[in-house]
Structure 1
Amino acid sequence: MILIGVEKRSRALGMVTLALALVLCLTAQLMPSSSAGFTAKVTNSANTAASNPYFTCNAAVLAKSPYLYYKFDNTQNIGLDSSGTGRNGQYYRGGSGSITAGTTTSDDACSRDGLGKWIQLYDYGSKTQNDQNYGLISSGAVTPPNTFTIEIWFKTTTTRGGRIFGLSRSLTGVSYVDRHIYLDNQGRVYFGVYPGSYKTIYSFASFNDNTWHMATGTLSSAGMCLYVDAVRMTCIPNVTQADNTFSTGYWRVGSDSVRDWPGFPSSDAFGGNVDEAAVYLSALTAAQIQAHYIAGR
């Protein structure tokens, strides 16, 4: 019986040894060699590199050939177009409104872009006609597109809402608006077009939390969609056109009349910071929008 017990222990020991050998073999096969490819996240004191094709917002935007691109990095020319197409915008102060250029890299929407600048738009109280020109950047005349993406970063604590970015019929002042992004008083993000009636998508959550957010609206033959921080709020597949009753418009960052639109806010003039405004003549995909958002985080 003693000899039998020893034999059982020997067999058990042999099985354990065999199992350990198998584990070591599998581990050696799974460990990457010096030439193996893998995804990594590297963080240092200033920058974060993730598994994303773009490290900066500038690289992400330019890779998709924007129609216009306002980085707001040039305080001498706030409406400078960085798309390479020369579609510079103009700054219209209007009334007592103004723009302040931010210069703190750590508080930039896209801190890895290096320049650390953005602009602050102001909402001056009651909704009046003067609201329409407070801190307004307007592009030159454009042909209103039916396939497009508008994209902008914003940061605010306002409880009065306001129009952030979109197409206007007029260069300045009270205007007819379409293809635009705005906030309601609760800080919910709206994207709207008007193909004969008001068509809007809005977020259920509020985003007036003093944090940078990226709002993106797309329109194409596949429908209209709204994304906030690269998360799709929803899409409406049967809305494939915007207003085609005017042949010329102006892309405006800042105020214009939203008083007749669903969820209309107390103010036409958005009060808060904005950065990296871009227009594309294509509908960016969800993956492309996510890549743009990651580039800024």
Structure 2
Amino acid sequence: MRVVLVSLVSLVLVGCGRFGFDPGTGTLDAAPRDAPPAGSYSAEVLADEPRVYYRLNEPAGDLVTFDASGNGFDGDYYIDGGTLTLGTVGAIVSETDTAVRLVGGGNLDGTVSRVRFPPEAASWDADFTIEGWVRPELPPPMGWNSAFVIWEDYQVSGFRTGWNVNLVPVFWTDQGGVQSGIDSLTATTPLTENAWNHLIFTRMGGTVTIYLNGVSAAVGLVDFIRPGTAVNCVGSDQGVPSNATFDEVALYPHALTAARVAAHYAAGRRAP
């Protein structure tokens, strides 16, 4: 009888579509995670085959962020003296998904607030794209940058993305021996404080492009040393502060084209 019951349960789950497992509660989600509606923001993202896609819409109290790419790279929320607020209003105009605010001072006060990727989730050896919606709540202190996505063995190798005290996006390194001496790229257009901004960093070969709200804001060569071990995260870590809300973070193992970047931005701003 037990075998029959298990078989029936299995048939029900298969017949109802793809269900998501909620690591925070150890249960299957009540609603199936079916394909998103055509033309929606998440459909545009998934059409470009991200390696990782964190919608960051978990309820308050959850510790795990679900990877909506289908690749199984679930991450986790982590704080050490900082502040992490789930359930804040999200970026996508036509959807009701929520976002997460991360506040940590980094080396300023030793506090950390971040979303961690599994080590195997990021593939930074070749071309890649980092995408997300960011809402800076306050500029970083003078002389500091604020963190978006970090991949770094602290001050040895890797890179950081974020924005400076003027809210201008930056891709930079903080390593002891940069391979070519080209260690940063700064955009020409600032983010808007207390508003949602669509921010993308792509790398093709050695060329990094920064896109802000669907438009290229900087192009240049940036070199970095690949870490043997590294922290992969969104938000405050590796000494870098953060005071921002984040939504719809995706990592791709290829560089999105300018046309696809514009399509993602348009889908995010499209009225319901």
In the superposition, the TM-score normalised over structure 2's length comes to 0.73
Q: Unmatched 5+ residue regions in structure 1?
A: 1-52, 259-267
Between the aligned partners of 2:235 and 2:106, the Cα distance in structure 1 is: 15
Root-mean-square deviation (Å): 2.5
Q: Which amino acid in the other structure matches residue 201 of structure 2?
A: G
Alpha-carbon distance change, 228 to 178 in structure 1, aligned in 2, over 3 angstroms: farther
Which residue of the partner structure matches residue 212 of structure 2? 228
Larger Rg: 1
> In proportion to residue count, which structure has more strand?
2
**1:1-297 equivalences in 2 (<5 Å):** 55-75=39-59, 76-94=62-80, 96-104=81-89, 108-112=90-94, 114-124=95-105, 127-128=108-109, 130-131=110-111, 133=112, 135-142=113-120, 143-160=123-140, 161-169=145-153, 176=156, 178-192=158-172, 195-221=179-205, 223-236=207-220, 238-239=221-222, 242-244=224-226, 246-257=227-238, 268-297=240-269
Unaligned runs of 5+ in 2: 1-36
**Residues 89 and 139 of structure 1 are in contact (CA less than 8 Å); yes or no, is this contact kept in structure 2?**
yes
1:257 and 1:198 map into 2 onto residues whose CA distance is 21
| Structure 1: distance between partners of 2:131 and 2:159 | 11
Asked if structure 2 preserves the Cα contact closer than 8 Å seen for 1:149 and 1:216, the reply is: yes
User: Secondary structure of the residue that 2:264 maps to in structure 1?
Assistant: helix
Residue 48 of structure 1 corresponds to: none
CA distance in 2, matches of 1:201, 1:125: 22
1:285–1:219 CA distance, 2 compared to 1 (3 A)? same
Secondary structure at 1:271's aligned position in 2?
Answer: strand
Sort the Cα spacing of 1:148 and 1:125 in 2 relative to 1 into closer, same or farther, 3 A. closer
Closer, same or farther: CA 141–196 of 1 in aligned 2, 3 Å: farther
TM-score (norm 1): 0.67
